[in-house]
Amino acid sequence: MELEITQVLARFWGLVLVVSCGAALVNARARRTLLDAKETEAFTLAVGWLALVIGAAHVALYNEWTLGHAGVITFLGWITLLRAAFRLVFPAAATRATRQGRKRMAAVHAYTALALLLGIYLLLVGLGVDLP
């Protein structure tokens, strides 16, 4: 069975979001450890380089601005690329943003829950469930 690129990317982003957001919501110790790491510029730069590779590859291979899951997938590629650039160009500001986020954990939890729902949606689309 040959998969379309949108299905592959939907599975990829779905898995990334479900696992990472699910872990962040369920495992408080892991969440605290990750937040601690995100407050260091070394971690911010390392994650920035990794995200740059993922975002640039995604945007180079897939860039389809349409309504529905294809547009969502394109948006995820671009936001990954832009956030990577921000982390690499302004690492101190990125670490400050993490510190500020700790002051608004309810908002962080809400954002994480929405990202988890988006991941479930994309995973279902990637698995061939007919959704809008």
1-31 pLDDT tens trace: 567 999 999 999 999 999 999 999 999 888 8
- Is 16 a domain residue? yes
- Is 115 a domain residue? yes
Q: What are the pLDDT digits (tens) for 52-102?
A: 999 999 999 999 999 999 999 999 999 999 999 999 999 999 988 888 888
| Domain assignment of residue 82, given as a range | 5-124
- Is 63 a domain residue? yes
Is 16:116 a contact under the CB 8 Å cutoff?
Answer: no
- Is 129 a domain residue? no
Q: Which two tokens stand for residue 79?
A: 């936001």
